[in-house]
A and B are shown apart, each in its own frame.
Chain A
Amino acid sequence: METAFELAPAIVLLPLAAFVVALLVGEYMPKKGALAGIAATAGSLLLSLYVVAAVATGGEHQETYFTWAAGDAFSETGESAIEFTFGILLDPLSALMLVIVSLIAFLVHVFSLGYMNDEGETGLRRYYAELGLFTFSMLAFVVADNLLMAFMFFELVGLCSYLLIGFWFRTESAPSAAKKAFLVTRFGDYFFLLGVVAIGATFGTLAFQGDNSFVAAASDAIEGGEPLFGFEPRTWVTITGLLVLGGVIGKSAQFPLHTWLPDAMEGPTTVSALIHAATMVAAGVYLIARMFGYYALSPTALAIIALVGGFTALFAATMGVVKDDIKQVLAYSTISQYGYMMLGLGVGGYVAGVFHLMNHAFFKALLFLGAGAVIVLMHHEQNMWKMGGLKDKAPVTYYTFLAGALALAGIVPFSGFWSKDEILFDAILVGLNEPIFLVAYAMGLLAVFFTGFYTFRMVFLTFHGEPRSEAARDPHPVGWNIKFPLLTLGVLALVAGVANLAPVYKLTGLEITYLEFWLDGQYGGYADLTYTAYGDTVPFGTEYIAGSETITLLIAAGLGLGLAVAGAIFAMVLYNVPEPEPHTENLGSARTVLRSNYYQDEYQVWIAENLSLPLARTADRFDQSVIDGVVNGVSSVSLFGSSRMKRLQTGVVTNYAALMIVGFIALLLVLGVLGGWFV
């Protein structure tokens, strides 16, 4: 067990080694660095499983490897020293996430052999190097044991996604999408940084776990009731929590900072799979789960998380309905699904949120890799209206994609159903007690219908009906390196729900909610990072419809499943025909609004041009005139003064003698006056 924890740093460092190898000698390797990446991520995956086994047998681990700054600091709660360290924290949550990230990264590497190498892409050395660095940053973020380290790797994840989205940097759109992703997430990260500084300055510690963690310190401060920076402790916790949430909203593409994500489709599809399933976007929600104890202290912050999540879920799902590009549909589904996770976490459903994070990682990676396979089949065509009829020609792709679609739509018994149902169940329980959450629940519930609809619209347009283009009639074959990841993830999308069959437990009493036990530290883990500990802190009450848990459960599950099936059937009626019509055109002006993404880009550009730019101009003018004026004034005064003063140096020795004498007499007089000679 100890060996597993001692080896844990290797999980993080192996992809870093792959990055270095691919960067230095990738050009001379047979697959341009892919093999190094595959070996490293496979190693990470095995070691992660080992760590999971160690945690499952009652272990947990926290170790500081490197203190890079330590010193005295003044903090609001009286803590007088602060340390900035690199360390790892291995508990059920991070162990689970390690497996998810390394598994997806491994499969993406394998898939890249088929998607990038076999398609004759150039720049593969750069591609695999960046992929390795990306995996490294995410893994390091996952195991981080303090907020500052998490922030640093959060930023590195952002940098890597910038590099990979802009992989085809010779096109016009990719660099602009990369820049957009970088800037929009950076806008959120700015608040995150403020939050880190605020938490550090308040509590004098940034550790996630233990008695000297900022969570414990915040809890003590709330009990003590001493004001922090002039605020009620709970208000201050809310403020700092919301600052950190800014980074989460940027990275996890929540409203209003979601606009970068659809554009990020400009990167290779494999990169999209990695970004959406396991790394970049998952980082935001993972951060909330990581410091859930902190958010649990603040009902306001939780309510905001839930409302933002519920709104984003619905908002993004409606936009997904009218997209024609297969990757665009998936992009909006990602935004929407992360909205669900936020909703789940916001209502205190820690297990539900993490469960959906896990399931989503599997089925979204599957769907993106499936879309990648479709793009290969279609000779790099992404418009769904030019596809059709791929069902019989590519059965492996079709059935795995279908499994992913059923999971995404949330249809029983696929994994997505179980986690989405749990989120909505948690939301309705809290919502019945506190009506504000009912709004978030209603938006999440409505989004289920749209999810079912757009998912199956995509499936039917892509795979069913008659082929609508030359490429669809004669698809390009795909190799094992594409089929293997698809099959692995297809099986996972089907069975991953078994991890936490909460409704079955509640109906029959069978104790099979393994993920809940896992996250509750029943196999191993820190007592302060368990579901029970969070549950005790979260201040929401719950209520049941008609006072019965069973009835509520059945109603919630029935509503969710019914709407998902209704959406799917609606899509089937409209699009499962040999020659489907573009029915969304009947939506008229609503379609225009949806196609323009609710004018989100436009209003953000408007804000940038009409508010930020004039503000920046004013600031610039202030800088140029007032600040520079003062500086220049000082220098011209001294220039002018010295140009007069230097006239003293006449070069005539007699004048110098006279000056010396005058100076001496003046000195004598001054000394005399001060010494009181003339009194």
Chain B
Amino acid sequence: MSVGIEHYVILSLALFCIGLFGVLTRRNALMFLMSVELMLNAANINLIAFAFYHGNLTGQVFALFTMALAAAEVAVGLGIILVLYRNFRDVDVTVPSAMRW
């Protein structure tokens, strides 16, 4: 039994939902960031799977771009988390809530 496109899609969907669950429930900023990365990679899987399915490389090239972008995003995200920790002695994302109405 060969691995069909639907398996990849289901994998991607599961990964995305795990990430989404993490974003909505985790209070630790590091975990939050990791969840975002999971969602991003879910999208990557989709891109690559469909590129393979259609037999062209555009999707794979996009996935490479997304990884580079994710690396940059992680750098910025970690920087924010460092500042967060320095200001609040904590990495709980619900603590800094001053920027509101």
Contact = CB atoms under 8 A, between A and B. Distances in A.
Interface in B62-101: 93-94, 96-101
Nearest to B97: A651
Given A661-B20, A661-B24, A654 B97 contact: no
Contacts of A658: 24
B38 interface: no
Contacts of A646: 101
Given A654-B93, A654-B94, A649 B20 contact: no
A657 B97 contact: no
Contacts of B94: 652-654
B99 A654 contact: no
B23 interface: yes
Contacts of B24: 654, 657-658, 661
A650 B100 contact: yes
Nearest to A642: B101
Interface string A643-678: 000110111111001100100000000000000000
* Majority SS at the chain B contact face: loop
Interface residues of B, number: 13
Contacts of A654: 23-24, 27, 93-94
A651 B93 contact: no
Nearest to B25: A654
Contacts of A653: 32, 93-94
Contacts of B97: 650-652
A37 to B, nearest CB: 71
Contacts of A657: 23-24
B98 A651 contact: yes
A652 B94 CA distance: 5
B87 to A, nearest CB: 14
A661 B35 CA distance: 14
A653 B98 CA distance: 11
Interface string B14-28: 000000100110010
Nearest to B24: A658
Nearest to A660: B23
Contacts of B20: 661
Interface in A448-494: none
Nearest to A648: B101
Contacts of B32: 653
Interface string A264-299: 000000000000000000000000000000000000
A649 B100 contact: yes
Contacts of B101: 646-647, 649
Contacts of A651: 96-100
Contacts of A650: 97, 100
B68 to A, nearest CB: 24
Nearest to B23: A657
Contacts of B23: 654, 657
Most B CB within 10 A of own CB, among A646, A649, A654:
A654
26 contacts: A646-B101, A647-B101, A649-B100, A649-B101, A650-B97, A650-B100, A651-B96, A651-B97, A651-B98, A651-B99, A652-B93, A652-B94, A652-B97, A652-B100, A653-B32, A653-B93, A653-B94, A654-B23, A654-B24, A654-B27, A654-B93, A654-B94, A657-B23, A657-B24, A658-B24, A661-B24
Given A649-B101, A652-B93, A658-B24, 6 more contacts: A652-B94, A652-B97, A653-B32, A653-B93, A657-B24, A661-B24
